[in-house]
């Protein structure tokens, strides 16, 4: 498919695509790391409680609770998914803009606005059943 010669991706859009890709990757790494830490700590406490001693049981219990608590309270996985989805939407809009004459700069900016809405703000889920808050 031939590239429309006089069109270039606006620098702000290209920068945002790189940033969202990096953020999505970091959030996914954080999600997996916290999940592994929380699970391994919980397994260590339940399996080796007698051998660990009181202090290490407390440390591993705290690490498990903190890791799983952060994952749940801030919906790290959901934010990683939303960021990746926004990146995909904007990437597709860039490809359309570069290769389809019917696609305009306004279409690209509309897709950018939609992608920002997908990402949204910081989510915090209270543990008291009060629902999620967005900042």
Residue 32 lies in a domain: yes
Closest CA to 83 of 72, 91, 93: 91
The pLDDT assigned to 6 comes to 78
Residue 5 lies in a domain: no
> Using CA atoms, how far apart are residues 21 and 110, in angstroms rounded to an integer?
19
Predicted confidence band of residue 43 (pLDDT cuts 50, 70, 90): very high
Residue 4 lies in a domain: no
> Using CA atoms, how far apart are residues 80 and 23, in angstroms rounded to an integer?
8
pTM for the model: 0.82
- Domains in the chain: how many in total? 1
Q: Is 65 left (phi over 0), alpha (psi -120 to 50) or beta?
A: alpha
The pLDDT assigned to 123 comes to 79
pLDDT tens per residue, range 99-116 = 998 999 999 999 999 999
Residue 124 structure tokens:
């915090």
Residue 119 lies in a domain: yes
Residue 113 lies in a domain: yes
Residue 1 lies in a domain: no
Predicted confidence band of residue 20 (pLDDT cuts 50, 70, 90): very high
Residue 135 lies in a domain: no
* Other residues' Cβ atoms within 10 Å of the Cβ of residue 39: 13
Per-residue pLDDT, averaged over 65-81, amounts to: 95
Residue 46 lies in a domain: yes
Q: By residue range, what is the domain housing residue 29? A: 11-126
Whether residue 68 has pLDDT greater than 80: yes
| CB proximity list for 106: less than 8 A, separation 6 or greater | none
């Amino acid at each position: 498919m031939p590239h429309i010669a006089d069109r270039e991706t606006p620098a702000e859009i290209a920068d945002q695509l790189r940033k969202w890709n990096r953020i999505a990757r970091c959030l996914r790494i954080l999600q997996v790391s916290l999940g592994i830490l929380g699970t391994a700590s919980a397994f260590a406490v339940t399996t080796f409680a007698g051998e660990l001693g009181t202090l290490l049981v407390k440390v591993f219990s705290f690490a498990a609770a903190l890791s799983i608590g952060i994952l749940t309270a801030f919906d790290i996985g959901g934010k990683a998914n939303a960021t990746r989805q926004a990146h995909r939407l904007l990437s597709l809009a860039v490809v359309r803009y570069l290769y389809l004459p019917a696609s305009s700069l306004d279409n690209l900016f509309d897709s950018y606005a939609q992608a920002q809405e997908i990402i949204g703000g910081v989510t915090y889920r209270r543990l008291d059943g009060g629902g999620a808050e967005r900042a």
